[in-house]
Each structure stands twice: as C-alpha cells, then as structure tokens.
Amino acid sequence: MTVEFDTMESAKVVRQFIQSEYPGIVVGEGKIKRNKPQTVEIPIPATPEEIAHQLPGLIVIPDWVSAEEEALIMEEIDSGTWDTTIKRRVQHFGFRFEYSRLDVDKSVSPSAFPSHCQSLVERSQLAGYDFNQLTINEYLAGVGIASHCDTHSAFTNCIGVVSLMADITIDFISHDSLRKVHAYIPRRSLYLMTGESRYGWRHGISARKCDRNPLTGEVSERLRRVSLTFRNCTKNECDCQYPSLCDTQGADVVRPRRMQNG
C-alpha cells in the first residue's frame, strides 16, 4: 500500500508511530509527493491588513528613510571597506556574522555601527529591539541570495531591514513549502520580520536582472541595491512551532555551498 504525504515532517511522524506501535510492520522510506506552492503577490501599495493576511508578522513601512538620508547613509557606507569573501559585497558591524555557521562570533568584541546607521536603530520603530549586529549587503543586477531562515537560536524575534537605492521583490516560502509570497519592497522602506514571518518562512532574492512591478505590470532592469539588516544576537533554546526550520529542534541549517567545508 502506498500513502502520500504533503510534507516530509508528516511522513516521519506517521512512520515513527507505526514502527513504535506495530513493530511487525515494515515501513519503507517511500516518496513524498510535493505539491506546487500556491503563489501569491502582495498588492502594492498594501495595507498592513493585506500584508498580515498573506504573511503574518511582516511589517513594511514605506518611505522610512528620506532621499537626503539615503544619500548620507550611502556616502558613509561606500567610504568603508567591503568584504568580498562571498559573491556579493558585504560589511559587518557589531558582532561579526560567520557564514560558515550562519551565526555570529562572540569571541571578538563587537564594532561600532556607522554613525548614520546607529541613528536609525535609535528611532522609535527600532529602539526597543536592542539590535547589536548589522550586516550591509550590496546587490547588483543578477545577484541574489539563497532562500533561508535566519538561525532561530542565534537571533531574537525581530529582523529589521532597511532597503536602499532600488525596489526589490523578495520571495517568501512557508515552512511546509505549500505557500509562496512575492513581497515587493519599495526603495527607502523599512521592513520587519517578526513572529511567523521570522520563524516560519524562508526568504530569498532570485538572481535575475529584471523585476516586474506587481502594481503596474512593468518590467524593469534591476539597479544596485544596498540593504541594512539589523539583528539582536542571543543564544537561546527555541521552542517555536516550525521545527522544520528550527536548529534547536534538529533542523539542518543549510549553509552556502562555498562555506560548507569552512
């Protein structure tokens, strides 16, 4: 007899139950039938209610940074030193992020944030999160980031991102791989991943040179984009309801291929 499951987690639970309750029955590994994710685009401009309906816990605040502030921040960033260890250029402040472990190195004293970036975390929308780590990513046309979920045990509930220089579409995939949401993030906006969007969804950026604006339908070439990702580094045992993405509960945290032997 063949039984199909939508997720590997469901198959493993049933297999474990049968083996424990009915040891005489041999259960093979079998195959998991994977349904194609239901794809949804968040309307732009979107109300907080529309965003929360499609992707609970995601908060998007357009025009959070003015054009003048963006210019000052970028001048400060570009005067710094870029790390070219990975495909895209990055800068790290506070605790240094380690791609080989998808965690931070707390054996090294944290560095200070650039002054204009520090002023951002002091604003009311970010002040209560006590961010102590900042990763600045540069995305050129054709450069993306693999789908991932920030390590549960390494960072607290909120991940804050300031998106500069260009609009971008970010792809969110639910923990059970049944839902996919395209979130269009405008230039100079702030978005916060909290709750379900933080722990129960993977997010990534497709490595392509063009994007389609879901509001107008127009296709445009990607421009240089720089993101400021703020995190609060901690070390905690996570007991969330998304074990397939939770390293505390045994999930395999997939590191970038070039880092897997590092």
In this predicted structure, the answer to whether residue 257 has a pLDDT above a threshold of 60 is no
Residues 6+ apart with CB under 8 A from 130: 232
Q: What is the percent of the chain with per-residue pLDDT over 90, rounded to a whole number?
A: 52
List residues bridging with 230 in a β-sheet: 134, 160
pLDDT of 261 higher than 50: no
pLDDT band, very low/low/confident/very high, at 188 (cuts 50, 70, 90) = very high
Mean pLDDT computed over 61-77: 97
Report which of residues 161 and 154 the model is more confident about: 161
Give residue 142's region: left, alpha or beta (phi > 0; psi -120 to 50). left
Closest CA to 186 of 205, 206, 170: 170
Given pLDDT bands bounded at 50, 70 and 90, which one contains residue 159?
very high
Of the candidate CATH numbers 3.10.440.10, 3.20.20.140, 2.60.120.1520, 3.40.309.10, the domain formed by 35-259 belongs to 2.60.120.1520
**Spatial separation of the C-alpha atoms in residues 135 and 126, rounded to whole Å:** 16
CB distance 57 to 194 below 8 Å: yes
pLDDT digits (tens, 9 = 90+) for 75-117: 999 999 999 988 899 999 998 777 666 667 777 778 899 999 9
All CATH 2.60.120.1520 domain ranges in the chain, comma separated: 35-259
